[in-house]
Amino acid sequence: MAWILFGTFIALILLRVPISIAIGTATVLTFLTSDFSTALQIIPQQMLEGVNKASLTAVPFFIMAGNLMNATGVTERIFAFANALVGHLKAGLAQVNILSSMIFAGISGAAVADCAGLGAIEIKAMRENGYKPDFAAAITVASSVIGPLIPPSIGLVLYAFLAQQSIERMFLAGLIPGILVGLALMIYVRIRAQFQEFPTQRRATVREVAGTAKHGFLALVAPAIILGSIMFGFVTATEAGVLACIYCILIGIWYKELTFRAFFAALSDTAMMTAVIMIIIAFSIAMGWLLAIDQTPQKLADFTFALTDNKNVFLALLLVFIILVGCVVEGVPAKLILVPTLLPLIDAYGIDRVHFGIIIQLGLLIGIATPPMGIGLYIVSEVGRVRFEKVTMAVLPMLVPLFAVLILLTYVPQTVTFLPDLILGPQN
Amino acid sequence: ETTWKMATKMPVDSPEGQVFQKFAELTEEYTGGELKITVYPNEQLGKENAVLEQLQANIIQIYAEGYSYMKKWEPALDWTTPAFAFDDYDHWVRFMNSDTVKGWFDNAAAQSGVRPLGDPTRVLRGPFRVTVSNVPIETADDYNGLKLRMHESKSAIETWDAIGTEVITLPWTEVYQSISKGIVQAVNSPIALVEAMRFNEVAPYITRMDEYWQSIGFMVNEQALNALDEETRAGLLKAYDEAGEMSQDLMFSVADESIKRMVDAGATYVELDTAPLVETMKTYYEAQDAAGALPEGLLSAIEETRATPQ
Amino acid sequence: MTPFEYSPESPLQRALNRLDRLNWQMGGAFLWLSNACLLAMLALTTATMILRPMGLAAYWIWPWTMVFFIWLSFFGFFALYARLKDVRVDFLAERMGAAGMLVTRIVSDAATLIVTGVLLMQVPKVIATSTGIYDGATMPTGVELPRLALSLPLFISTALVALTAILDIAKLAAGMPENVTDHHPEI
Ligand code: NA
Ligand code: NA
């Protein structure tokens, strides 16, 4: 059954079928070949179940916040500040690229807003300064992985729902891993600059740093407001998303940079992006119903247990598996199928669900930077006007620091659980 | 040999989950292996309406959940647990087995082919209702002005409005946060869920108020039930009866242990005299009935099943 | 190329192009329905945050937010299909040249018709079983929204998606190019 599902899905995707139709066809064909071929009414019924999820109402607003930041010029302000701060380092603009993503991550919940909006600014600046376009595009994709780790994060909202964890806890758990990915990439760039000549910029004066900080102040405090309001404020995750959007709109009005036209463009982009995600979710939930009623998770658990009862060996297998899936399946459907399927195993091996959530989040995220399905690669090759293959080659060495962090997070669970346990108290 | 699929919302290791597991085991035993039951826990097959539609289509054969969800076929079944309408538990049991309620179930079955397996009160849930609050509630008056979390049900909201609380609707999963942030002061819950949701950490006053009694309906597909031979059906009903008995013991002992743990950790537990609330609600129900908002026969069924002095 | 950039030559092409333009505009209309739902969600949630401290938040706000969320997703299904906002991986097809584009065009339309066909065949069953109401989504008349109203936009969108695929097959037969945009989809 799993073969029909994944086989059809991947084949159709590679044949230029729109992703929502591809997952729908895979689901329909799997139903038709199952014991439930006469119960096809389950598909529309479960599609409604899939979109009727209260916790997922946060999704459009975390997307919208990123789009609004790009529409209001907030993104440029973040970039200017990061540039004043670290632009003078070796391979300075590459470091700026990473730091900007870390700041941007505090407002946006999706990696694509980073690649498409911030990425355009970053790649343009790097090209003008003499960086090779493929390197510029590659570091942009690699650093966009930070976005959905540092809260807010659509992927973590989805995981929290699937694994019955609180969104707050998952958000806190993602913070340190997100920063670690940023640092790992910065170290990687620094090491590479040791062997390779990169363009340099002069150091910004203290006055310039202060100037850009003031220029971008309202933008720079936004992440603190958003995370803070979820953690300690009076709002739910969805409301925090709305708060972020309203805040971005108000900044736009304050700086007089938000036009009606830009607002409605951001609105439309958000609606369409949300619809894509939710239609994928809808079909995936229908698929999940079939996997559940077929007791696939239990069968998989029994099979895996027969293989090994060693937790560390299991984690290694899990990592390889997640990364392989991440290469060919987009994060949202991958999570929707994998999380419910793997949870019995995760529990059986005594792995913390929060810990697993971050492993699967980063593991699948790396897929945006790998062919054939790397959405991030497509976007940066578009906005950076670089050939897809060239970005793909340039991004390969940057996967090393990403994998290093992933392995660290996997085998040192405290890197994930320390912060949520500290602030929310240990679980159970 | 038949295998039935049984859907539940509850996790396997919860007290209710244990009852369902026991039910599955007993069924296999008492039917001599003729009928096996696979339990699908954790809302794996979907939420209430979706699962009921699967039950109707005989894709699954049993759904263990509150009867009120059958209101999609017979709106009166939303009224199997009216708040503060009964003198005690036994009164409610008599009401649930009255001809009026039987008529509601028959009507739902006629439309959907889904009906209760046996005595609809047999498998207990809860086992009783409490208010968990961050201010003490010792008398019915203490509900006045209390900021109380409620689910999005018009009748529940109106009920607690009538009692005098300030009702605020919130999703269940956001209650803990909302109490700790002061958005609400209190929540009504079955005692069984208080500790699991860690409500006592933010709202240490636990008041048993017996708002209503709840059972877990074992809703079955009639077609599947009729397909069983007589002997197997008898075995199934015996298993249901024994699982029900187990639920009564298990629920109360689990509740007692949980209350003890919470009290040891600093919570306060009291039992409320609900007579004033029953009085308040009586007036409310009469007004509602006059306005045609209640199902026909509800109030008279409640009155007729009231205990007659011996 | 969008239908508005294409110049038809034969009467058949002209007729198909007219339909295609209509379909394109319909996609735009559904995009706006999605937008309106998103704005409604934004407004309702904002209202909740403002009204709650004053104790004025109405119980029906949250259920209606959910209804708009569902409608946003389902109306969006047609919009993103007709306006080519979905994610499509085209490097393999492009590598295979004109033949690749042709084959994948047919595969896409076929896959679309399989999915939409199966969904549309379920409409009678869904209508028969989607009884009851959506709890809390009270309408001004005092009654709550029927559950059926939740799935209707899905079926309307699905039907339109199916028509779009059929139209594309007709265009292919008439020697017309498929609609493409250089918009790089985001997810
Ligand atoms: Na983020
Ligand atoms: Na970046």
Q: What is the mean pLDDT of residues B121-136?
A: 94
What confidence score (pLDDT) does residue A109 get?
A: 83
Q: What is the mean pLDDT of residues B8-34?
A: 91
Q: At residue B122, does pLDDT exceed 90?
A: yes
Q: What is the mean pLDDT of residues A38-47?
A: 94
Q: At residue A170, does pLDDT exceed 90?
A: yes
**Closest CB to C45 among A44, A239, A272:** A239
**C-alpha pair distances (Å), B281 with each of A3, B143, B306:** 59, 14, 16
Cβ pair C136:B168 closer than 8 A: no
Nearest C-alpha in C relative to A379: C184
Residues 6+ apart with CB under 8 A from A33: A1, A4
Contacts 24+ apart (CB under 8 A), C51-55: C52/A234, C52/B168, C52/B183, C53/A234, C55/B166, C55/B168
CA of C99 to the centre of ligand 2 (A): 37
Cα–Cα distance, C47 to C54 (Å, whole number): 11
Q: At residue B14, does pLDDT exceed 50?
A: yes
What confidence score (pLDDT) does residue A382 get?
A: 75
3 state DSSP class of B267? coil
Chains meeting A at 3+ CB pairs closer than 8 A? Answer: B, C
Domain boundaries, chain C: 11-173
Cβ C87 vs Cβ A19: under 8 Å: yes
CA of A393 to the centre of ligand 2 (A): 18
The residue among A29, A249, A279, A377 with the most chain C CBs within 10 A of its CB, best to mutate, is A279
Of B20, B13, B7, which is closest to residue B62 (Cα–Cα)?
A: B7
Q: What is the mean pLDDT of residues B129-156?
A: 92
* C53-110: pLDDT as tens digits: 776 778 889 899 999 999 999 999 999 999 998 878 777 888 888 899 999 999 999 9
The DSSP code sequence of A282-324 is HHHHHHHHHHHHTTHHHHHHHHHHHH---HHHHHHHHHHHHHH
What confidence score (pLDDT) does residue B207 get?
A: 97
What confidence score (pLDDT) does residue C187 get?
A: 35
What confidence score (pLDDT) does residue C174 get?
A: 95
Around Cβ B273, how many Cβ atoms within 10 Å? Answer: 11
The whole-model pTM stands at 0.87
- Side chain identity at residue A160, one-letter code: A
What confidence score (pLDDT) does residue A13 get?
A: 86
Q: Which chain B residues are Cβ-neighbours of C62 within 8 angstroms?
A: 152, 169-171
Q: Which chain B residues are Cβ-neighbours of A41 within 8 angstroms?
A: 53, 57
Report the range of poorest mean pLDDT among A53-62, A94-103, A257-266, B98-107: A53-62
Reported confidence tier of residue A233, pLDDT bands at 50, 70, 90? low
* A249-258: pLDDT as tens digits: 998 898 888 8
Cβ C123 vs Cβ A29: under 8 Å: no
Nearest ligand, measured from the Cα of A114: 2
Distance in Å, alpha carbon of B298 to nearest chain C alpha carbon: 20
Q: Please provide the average confidence, as pLDDT, over all residues in chain B.
A: 92
Nearest ligand, measured from the Cα of A93: 2
Cα–Cα distance, B126 to C123 (Å, whole number): 39
Q: Which chain C residues are Cβ-neighbours of B49 within 8 angstroms?
A: 132, 147
Q: What is the mean pLDDT of residues A108-120?
A: 83
What is the pairing mode between strands C144-146 and C133-138? Answer: antiparallel
* A127-148: pLDDT as tens digits: 888 899 999 999 999 999 999 9
Q: Is C154 on the interface with A (CB under 8 A)?
A: yes
What confidence score (pLDDT) does residue C112 get?
A: 98
What confidence score (pLDDT) does residue A15 get?
A: 92
Distance in Å, alpha carbon of B171 to nearest chain C alpha carbon: 9
**C-alpha pair distances (Å), B291 with each of B138, B146, B155, B284:** 33, 27, 14, 11
What confidence score (pLDDT) does residue B261 get?
A: 95
**Closest CB to C135 among B152, B167, B171:** B152
Share of chain A above pLDDT 90, in %: 40
Cβ C145 vs Cβ C72: under 8 Å: no
Q: At residue B310, does pLDDT exceed 50?
A: no
* B43-85: pLDDT as tens digits: 888 889 999 999 999 999 999 999 999 999 999 999 999 999 9
**Closest CB to C122 among A44, A246, A276:** A44
What confidence score (pLDDT) does residue A380 get?
A: 85
**C-alpha pair distances (Å), A115 with each of A102, A196, A275:** 13, 25, 20
Cβ pair B44:A340 closer than 8 A: yes
**Closest CB to B44 among A41, A42, A292:** A292
Cβ pair C131:B168 closer than 8 A: no
Of B264, B259, B282, which is closest to residue B83 (Cα–Cα)?
A: B282
Cα–Cα distance, C44 to A155 (Å, whole number): 24
CA of A59 to the centre of ligand 1 (A): 12
Place of tokens 């409005």: B161
Q: At residue A204, does pLDDT exceed 90?
A: no
Place of tokens 């004043």: A84
What confidence score (pLDDT) does residue C182 get?
A: 64
What confidence score (pLDDT) does residue C87 get?
A: 78
Cα–Cα distance, C161 to B114 (Å, whole number): 36
Distance in Å, alpha carbon of B54 to nearest chain A alpha carbon: 8
What confidence score (pLDDT) does residue A165 get?
A: 86
Q: Is B49 on the interface with C (CB under 8 A)?
A: yes
Q: Which of residues 144-203 of A touch C (CB under 8 A)?
A: none
Q: What is the mean pLDDT of residues B144-163?
A: 89
Q: What angle do CA A230, A231, A234 make, to 5 degrees?
A: 60
Reported confidence tier of residue C186, pLDDT bands at 50, 70, 90? very low
Q: What is the mean pLDDT of residues A117-126?
A: 88
Residues 6+ apart with CB under 8 A from A11: none
The residue among C87, C133, C134 with the most chain A CBs within 10 A of its CB, best to mutate, is C87
Q: At residue B12, does pLDDT exceed 50?
A: yes
Share of chain C above pLDDT 90, in %: 70
Reported confidence tier of residue C132, pLDDT bands at 50, 70, 90? confident
What confidence score (pLDDT) does residue A154 get?
A: 87
Q: What angle do CA A304, A306, A308 make, to 5 degrees?
A: 70
Give me Rg for the CA atoms of chain C.
20
Cα–Cα distance, C125 to C131 (Å, whole number): 11
Q: Please provide the average confidence, as pLDDT, over all residues in chain C.
A: 91
What confidence score (pLDDT) does residue B193 get?
A: 85
Reported confidence tier of residue C41, pLDDT bands at 50, 70, 90? very high
Q: At residue A33, does pLDDT exceed 50?
A: yes
What confidence score (pLDDT) does residue A373 get?
A: 67
Distance in Å, alpha carbon of B304 to nearest chain A alpha carbon: 41
**C-alpha pair distances (Å), C178 with each of C1, C86, C170:** 7, 15, 10
What confidence score (pLDDT) does residue A334 get?
A: 80
Contacts 24+ apart (CB under 8 A), B95-99: B95/B301, B95/B302, B95/B305, B96/B120, B96/B121, B96/B215, B97/B121, B98/B301, B98/B304, B98/B305, B99/B301
Q: Which chain C residues are Cβ-neighbours of A57 within 8 angstroms?
A: 41, 45, 65-66, 69
* A359-413: pLDDT as tens digits: 999 999 998 888 766 778 877 887 788 887 889 899 999 999 999 999 999 999 9
Cβ pair A112:C125 closer than 8 A: no
- Note the ipTM here: 0.87
